[in-house]
Structure 1
Amino acid sequence: MKNHARRLLSIAVMTAALAAPMLVAAGPAQALLPNRSCGTVVGSDSTTAANLNKVLTGKLRNAMTAYRVSCARAIADATRARGLSERAAVIAVTTAIVESVLENNPNRLDHTSVGLFQQQDWWGSFEERLDPAYATNAFLNAMVKAYPNNAWQSQPIGVVAQKVQVSAYPDRYQLEAADAQRIVSALSTPAPVTPASRVHVEVVGADGGMHNTDADYASGQWSGTWTAMGGSALKALTSAVTGNTMHVFALGSTGRVYTKDANYTTGQWSSGWQEVPGDFQGATAISASSTGNQVHLEVLGAGGVMHNTDADYGTGQWTGVWADMGGTGLKALTTAVTGSTMHVYAVGAEGQVFTRDANYGTGQWTGWQNVPGGFLGATDIAASSTGNQVHLEVLGAGGVMHNTDADYGTGQWTGVWADMGGSGLTALTTAVTSSTMHVYAIGAGGQVFTRDANYGTGQWTGWQSVPGDESGATAITASTTK
């Protein structure tokens, strides 16, 4: 990308420790780094490339390869996952043809630009910009922001691409739009997607600091140890993922909100905790979720009122303000996402369960509604999604877990709360790999337990101890990465 305008870099500064070591542009005596993978190159990609070489007329005339097909598919798949139309994929592929000839290039040949969209360092860390899904979502986030109310749908493709990229050569994009349409049309079969299989569990330990352990559900292995990750007097945790980076958020002793990141592509954690912009104080509960590169952070403040702030990890921007979202007497929060909609669930003063939605496609919030089933006495709550279904767990009297489910494709709730057992549980969180929801709970002595619900088979497992013998835990969160 050729835009050299100054940008605010609050997130980039905050997560500088996650960035890969600085590379210098290759000089005459230096070999260029090889292009990065865009994902699996499947057997049919060579045939698709050969067929496209018969019809492409622009920069990629007679130059399409199986690798470039895989890169175009990565862009199209990331766009499809957002629920955006095919035109959005065509706009993104048009841009990538001009910027990188559909190659995930790690060499900094134009200032700090790398990757499919030649994004400079304010778009994310070095590794994030070389993650096709992250880079595509960053581009799409900027496009949607530049054209409110989906106005990009009616604008010329080249004009939209230029609006985002701000290139010194604005006329080059429209010339590639027809080829981009041909490429997207040829991608009728998505490439196999590597499912997320690693779950990262964080707890606040007896020392008031955060401790971490990991599980790989593809291999069935836990790390078996709990690693101290710093912090002191923490009282609540939540986490969300963008790309392959997990963002952990914690409440300090005075209810201030802090964050640190773990990039599971590089294996690096940011060096220390940083305060989330907005100077919030007095928070008592917290929840985070993500749509694309955006993280949506909710807290409960004085009087049990919910407040919201958002971060765009594609552009490095926080809103920097905490919006009052209403509610009163709320005492616990959780969130889950289906499509581009975030569903918030909260426990009221008498342990009732409420919900409201934020559609990040339209920017609209709904009001609070009771979750069907009439549950009372809830003390904690956790939610996760598989497809259009959200699975909601609460702790009731005696620390017993109860479950109910909603299908947001049909708009139906089960309307009942099933007793799922357990005793003396004090805190809950959930994470999903493939069609399996993993529940993690803190027991009466601060031990950590887990059980699974396979929503492909409808089967639940029993409770098991999480390896590592952690005790004294007081708060818990879990996230999933590849």
Structure 2
Amino acid sequence: MHKRFLATVTLAVAATSLFGTVADAAPVDPSVNDRIAQAALPKVPCDPKGSNSRDGQLANTLNGQLTEELKNAMNAYRVSCARMIVDAVHDRGLTERAAVIAVTTAIVETTLQNFDGGDATSVGLFQQQKWWGTREQRLNATWTTNRFLNEMEKLYPNESWKAGAIGPICQKIQVSAYPDRYGVQAADAQRIVNLLWEDAPVDRTARGPLFNRTKWSGSAGWDASAVAVDGNANITDTAVASIPNSSMYAFNVVKGSGVWYRLRDPKTRKWVAEATQLDTNPNISAIAAAGENDGTLHLFTVVPGAGVFHKIRNASTGVWTSRQVDTNPYTVAVAAAVLPDDTLHLFTAVAGSGVWTREFKNGVWAAAANQVDTNPYITSIGAVGLPDGTLNLFNLVSGSGIWFKSRNVSKQWGGSDPIDLNDSISSLSAAGLPNGSLHVTAVVPGSGLWVRSKAAGATWTNEHVDTNGKIFGSYTAGLNEGTLQVGALVNVN
């Protein structure tokens, strides 16, 4: 586990009474100290796909509307949690008022955050105790919302929950030691639901065209405008690979179609007009790419429920071959990095397990994968191999930000250190430059792209590269010519 979470289990045990009902624990008023204790607990995604650019936009809108505890505190993560509640109510066929009741309760219990209390008896959006369901069920935003609604309909049969004040209804379901808390938050819950209810029937799959920005070698800033890479409005994920002649290959997952790629010519610095289809599997959810010194290209695709597949393009013939390299059905993200000796390293983030890595050398995969991080809440990863032979891994921990760890030339991994604790970051990508500098791009829904950089022996710096709040995905590439390239997927929803 990351350092931030090493002390969490002890804290969670001590905080059990903070979240108990009248029957389970002595009353403890949810004061500032209570919220501080909650903030120290790890947060898991409400939406398995994470927050998106639309969540960030709605957070900005709500911050100008809310008046109580969440005033100016909404972010993409909290909106994604509220969205999952509203969607569950909508899919169940209940009215908007049911969503207001549920969101009001979640505001009071967790300020719309999906807390995993470790050994504590109460977990999840509604801080439900063990008798509500298993820990895994209570951390599933859709399941836990439906469990809450089951209790509501049981206690208020014949749709009697449609009448009466919101606060007492929430109290009867939750049996809180502090019943007056709920009514105070009902108006803000209504404002949140008003925005989200209109979106409930909409396909929110983040998708859109791809653009590229360049920071030239020796330049202090980025190009003022982005260059269109691919105008297809159905791209859902992107990855990039470069080879020593500074050619760039942008690989894009197109919803329902598979993977297509485009080449950026190093001489003209222009992208080819037509994309080439490389994989026809319509179920691919995530990809990663890397290039070797001899021009060999590698592409990794994640197929939910099946695992990870590896495609290789021979540098001499240009022919692609394919094989399955990992059968774990719970892989959520992949990254790849090549070291100077052309050893390829594949990293996979597995839901509930952490990050694993496997080596590929001289056309042969190592027999087994090695676990390099045990944090179960990692949702996005980036990997970089530097000229000095070090491997560098960036992990996005849900609700915690970006953490960094490195493997030295003796193949020993160091500990994890935080480099960006913004809990709204939804995805990341990373690259290195020939001068040994590291660069990680963070997507912040509603805010755009931020790039953190670290020169050898220096500290991390931060740049706001693109302010487009609808950006939902990125790639990062460091070319041999010394330029840094950042791609941005812009949501059309």
TM-score (norm 1): 0.53
Contact 2:440 2:476 in 1 (8 A): no
Cα offset, 1:266, TM superposition: 2.2
In the other structure, the counterpart of 1:417 is 416
In the other structure, the counterpart of 2:351 is 349
One-letter amino acid of the structure 1 residue matched with residue 403 of structure 2: H
Paired with 1:413 and 1:460, the residues of 2 have a C-alpha distance of 20
In the other structure, the counterpart of 2:367 is 366
Contact 1:442 1:474 in 2 (8 A): yes
Contact 2:241 2:477 in 1 (8 A): yes
Give the secondary-structure state (helix, strand or coil) at the position aligned to 1:412.
Answer: coil
Cα offset, 1:446, TM superposition: 5.1
Matches within 5 A, 1:70-109: none
One-letter amino acid of the structure 2 residue matched with residue 402 of structure 1: W
Contact 1:384 1:430 in 2 (8 A): yes
- 2:262 is aligned, of 260, 264, 276, to 260
In the other structure, the counterpart of 2:332 is 331
One-letter amino acid of the structure 1 residue matched with residue 330 of structure 2: G
Contact 2:207 2:235 in 1 (8 A): no
Cα offset, 1:206, TM superposition: 7.5
Alpha-carbon spacing, 1:473–1:351, altered in 2? closer, same or farther (3 Å): farther
Cα offset, 1:472, TM superposition: 0.6
Cα offset, 1:458, TM superposition: 4.1
Give the secondary-structure state (helix, strand or coil) at the position aligned to 2:399.
Answer: helix
Give the secondary-structure state (helix, strand or coil) at the position aligned to 2:281.
Answer: coil
Per-residue Cα deviation, 1:15-54 (whole angstroms, up to 9, x for no partner): xxxxxxxxxxxxxxxxxxxxxxxxxxxxxxxxxxxxxxxx
Per-residue Cα deviation, 1:365-413 (whole angstroms, up to 9, x for no partner): 3322210x53221111111121211111111132511111112x31211
Per-residue Cα deviation, 1:299-327 (whole angstroms, up to 9, x for no partner): 111315011111124322112x3435322
Alpha-carbon spacing, 1:362–1:207, altered in 2? closer, same or farther (3 Å): closer
One-letter amino acid of the structure 1 residue matched with residue 295 of structure 2: N
Per-residue Cα deviation, 1:79-127 (whole angstroms, up to 9, x for no partner): xxxxxxxxxxxxxxxxxxxxxxxxxxxxxxxxxxxxxxxxxxxxxxxxx
In the other structure, the counterpart of 2:223 is 223
Contact 2:448 2:467 in 1 (8 A): yes
Paired with 1:264 and 1:362, the residues of 2 have a C-alpha distance of 27
One-letter amino acid of the structure 1 residue matched with residue 467 of structure 2: D
TM-score (norm 2): 0.52
Contact 1:206 1:473 in 2 (8 A): no
Give the secondary-structure state (helix, strand or coil) at the position aligned to 1:235.
Answer: strand
Counting matched residue pairs gives 269
In the other structure, the counterpart of 1:208 is 208
Paired with 2:394 and 2:273, the residues of 1 have a C-alpha distance of 33
Contact 1:251 1:283 in 2 (8 A): yes
Cα offset, 1:268, TM superposition: 2.5
Matches within 5 A, 1:57-456: 208-229=208-229, 230-242=231-243, 243-254=245-256, 256-276=258-278, 278-291=279-292, 292-319=294-321, 321-338=322-339, 339-350=341-352, 352-359=354-361, 361=362, 363-371=364-372, 373-386=373-386, 387-407=388-408, 409-414=409-414, 416-423=415-422, 424-433=424-433, 434-445=435-446, 447-454=448-455, 456=456
One-letter amino acid of the structure 2 residue matched with residue 395 of structure 1: L
One-letter amino acid of the structure 1 residue matched with residue 407 of structure 2: A
Q: Extract unaligned runs of 5+ from structure 2.
A: 1-204, 482-493
Paired with 2:218 and 2:306, the residues of 1 have a C-alpha distance of 40
One-letter amino acid of the structure 2 residue matched with residue 307 of structure 1: F
Contact 2:207 2:236 in 1 (8 A): no
Give the secondary-structure state (helix, strand or coil) at the position aligned to 1:232.
Answer: coil
Q: Percent identity?
A: 19
Paired with 1:437 and 1:262, the residues of 2 have a C-alpha distance of 22
Paired with 2:252 and 2:363, the residues of 1 have a C-alpha distance of 29
Matches within 5 A, 1:43-62: none
Paired with 1:298 and 1:206, the residues of 2 have a C-alpha distance of 21
One-letter amino acid of the structure 2 residue matched with residue 354 of structure 1: W
Paired with 2:257 and 2:343, the residues of 1 have a C-alpha distance of 27
Paired with 1:207 and 1:308, the residues of 2 have a C-alpha distance of 24
Paired with 1:341 and 1:370, the residues of 2 have a C-alpha distance of 18
Contact 1:399 1:426 in 2 (8 A): no
One-letter amino acid of the structure 1 residue matched with residue 405 of structure 2: T
Q: Extract unaligned runs of 5+ from structure 1.
A: 1-204
Tell me which stretches of 4 or more aligned residues in structure 1 moved more than 4 Å.
none
Contact 1:375 1:417 in 2 (8 A): no
